[in-house]
């Protein structure tokens, strides 16, 4: 027997389903229901090829597309808004979702879209209480089995959201294996976590390639990044609590944290600057040929992480201006920061800064330094 609450949820789900099929605007629904959205699903029959597509809205900001009439071999996760004020990736994903729903883009594979932090989107801030991109791979401190917090951490909505996002990606990849007519080893998994940086960069777009635990860097993936307009790649050398590392490490997904320019408010992004990434992602989703240039290491700016500098004291100061860009290098011996009484200076020729942020919580990363490298 349905309760009044259950009946209201069913009614809302029907309304949302009808609205989404009409206008394709999943971001608007996500923002209107930032904490809770009823799950619903429907079948689309308006794809360019006529193939039917199952659409499942699983929760606020989480929507999955799966073609029903063809055998698929890829499982793709596209996430944005892990930081709520990084609007360009949100707009890119919003457009792709709308094109799929309105029958303007073919679908050849399973795709999961995630708007990571809807409440942070609505306040136009990086996060509400805690940096969501530091809460994966155990960073949320919630035990998967009991869903209880550890004694050592404070559980907030962003930690619960990180757990939900992890579980959703896990279910998505595992369901792809169950539905596959071939072995799971033959399916390709992808996760592109789309961001924009707090400050500008000498290299406007760049990507962080998660640590691969001794497995080789995949050149074809670097070629795909190049097709997206991203030729500066930072090769990570250790495990992290980022979302892209979670998918890479747990599921063997081809994964990147992709930084697309600088943070700007909605409506102020020059979307033509992201035509390469928008078109490449559309081609990947639709099964169109990917336009990949032959690999040439000279086409890339490759860096490796040299030092991770965590803030240890209340008195933490960066000794360069707020407008100094990512990938700016300094002469050896330059004072970069002071952390309490500790002076942090450049140690190597070509050592450059990336992701500097003096306002992080104590114990979190305040700065990376990187040095040029090669494959």
DSSP per residue over 288-352, as a string? Answer: PPP--PPP-GGG-EEEEEEEEEE--SS-EEESS-TTPPBT-B--TT-EEEEETTEEEE--STT-E
**Residue 26 within any structural domain of the chain:** no
Give yes or no: residues 315 and 281 share one domain. no
Give yes or no: residues 94 and 121 share one domain. yes
Q: Which two tokens mark 95?
A: 């457009």
In the prediction, which pLDDT does 364 show?
85
166 is a catalytic site residue: no
Q: Which residues are CB-contacts of 249 (< 8 A; sequence separation ≥ 6)?
A: 137, 210, 211, 213, 239
Cα angle value 312/315/320 (rounded, 5°): 100
Please give the residue range of the domain that contains residue 249.
Answer: 63-298
Give yes or no: residues 276 and 320 share one domain. no
In the prediction, which pLDDT does 145 show?
59
**Residue 34 within any structural domain of the chain:** no
Instruction: Give Cα separations from 313 to 214, 339, 362, 368 (angstroms).
Output: 34, 6, 6, 17
Give yes or no: residues 139 and 266 share one domain. yes
In the prediction, which pLDDT does 152 show?
46
Examine the fold and report which residue of 265, 298, 331 is the final residue of a domain before the chain moves on.
298
**Residue 56 within any structural domain of the chain:** no
**Residue 184 within any structural domain of the chain:** yes
Q: Is 71 left (phi over 0), alpha (psi -120 to 50) or beta?
A: beta
CB distance 254 to 290 below 8 Å = no
Q: What is the mean pLDDT of each run of 10 residues along the chain (375 residues)?
A: 75 96 98 95 92 96 96 96 97 98 96 98 96 93 61 74 97 88 73 92 91 96 97 94 97 97 93 96 96 94 92 93 90 94 92 91 89 92
In the prediction, which pLDDT does 322 show?
87
Among candidate residues 66, 86, 106, 259, the one labeled active-site is 259
Specify the number of domains making up the chain. Answer: 2
Q: Which residues are CB-contacts of 308 (< 8 A; sequence separation ≥ 6)?
A: 238, 365, 368
Of the CA atoms within 13 Å of residue 297, those in its CB half-sphere come to 8
Q: Which two tokens mark 233?
A: 């790649």
**Residue 165 within any structural domain of the chain:** yes
In the prediction, which pLDDT does 204 show?
87
**Residue 16 within any structural domain of the chain:** no
Chain-centroid distance, C-alpha 94: 14
**Residue 4 within any structural domain of the chain:** no
């Amino acid at each position: 027997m349905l309760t009044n609450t259950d009946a209201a949820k069913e009614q809302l789900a029907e309304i949302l389903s009808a609205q989404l099929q009409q206008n394709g605007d999943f971001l608007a629904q996500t923002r209107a229901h930032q904490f809770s959205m009823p799950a619903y699903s429907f079948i689309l029959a308006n794809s360019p090829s006529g193939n039917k597509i199952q659409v499942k809205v699983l929760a606020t900001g989480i929507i999955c597309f799966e073609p029903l009439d063809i055998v698929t071999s890829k499982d793709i996760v596209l996430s944005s808004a892990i930081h709520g004020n990084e609007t360009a990736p949100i707009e890119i994903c919003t457009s792709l979702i709308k094109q799929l729903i309105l029958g303007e883009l073919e679908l050849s594979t399973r795709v999961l879209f995630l708007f990571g932090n809807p409440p942070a989107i609505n306040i136009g801030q990086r996060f509400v209480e805690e940096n969501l991109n530091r809460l994966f791979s155990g960073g949320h401190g919630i035990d998967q089995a009991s869903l209880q917090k550890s004694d050592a951490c404070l559980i907030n909505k962003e930690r619960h959201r990180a757990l939900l996002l992890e579980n959703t990606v896990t279910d998505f990849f595992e369901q792809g294996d169950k539905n596959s007519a071939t072995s799971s080893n033959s399916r390709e998994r992808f996760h592109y976590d789309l961001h924009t940086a707090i400050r500008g960069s000498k290299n406007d777009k760049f990507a962080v390639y998660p640590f691969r635990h001794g497995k080789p860097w995949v050149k074809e993936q670097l070629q795909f990044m190049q097709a997206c307009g991203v030729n500066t790649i930072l090769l990570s050398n250790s495990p992290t609590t980022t979302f892209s590392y979670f998918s890479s490490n747990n599921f063997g997904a081809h994964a990147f944290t992709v930084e697309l320019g600088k943070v700007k408010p909605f409506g102020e992004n020059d979307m033509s600057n992201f035509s390469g990434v928008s078109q490449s992602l559309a081609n990947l989703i639709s099964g169109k040929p990917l336009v990949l240039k032959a690999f040439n290491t000279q086409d890339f700016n490759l860096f490796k992480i040299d030092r991770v500098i965590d803030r240890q004291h209340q008195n933490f100061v960066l000794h360069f201006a707020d407008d100094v860009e990512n990938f700016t290098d300094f002469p050896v011996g330059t004072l970069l920061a002071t952390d309490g009484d500790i002076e942090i200076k450049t140690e190597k020729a070509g050592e450059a800064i990336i992701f500097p942020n003096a306002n992080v919580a104590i114990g979190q990363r305040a700065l990376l330094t990187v040095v040029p490298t090669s494959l």
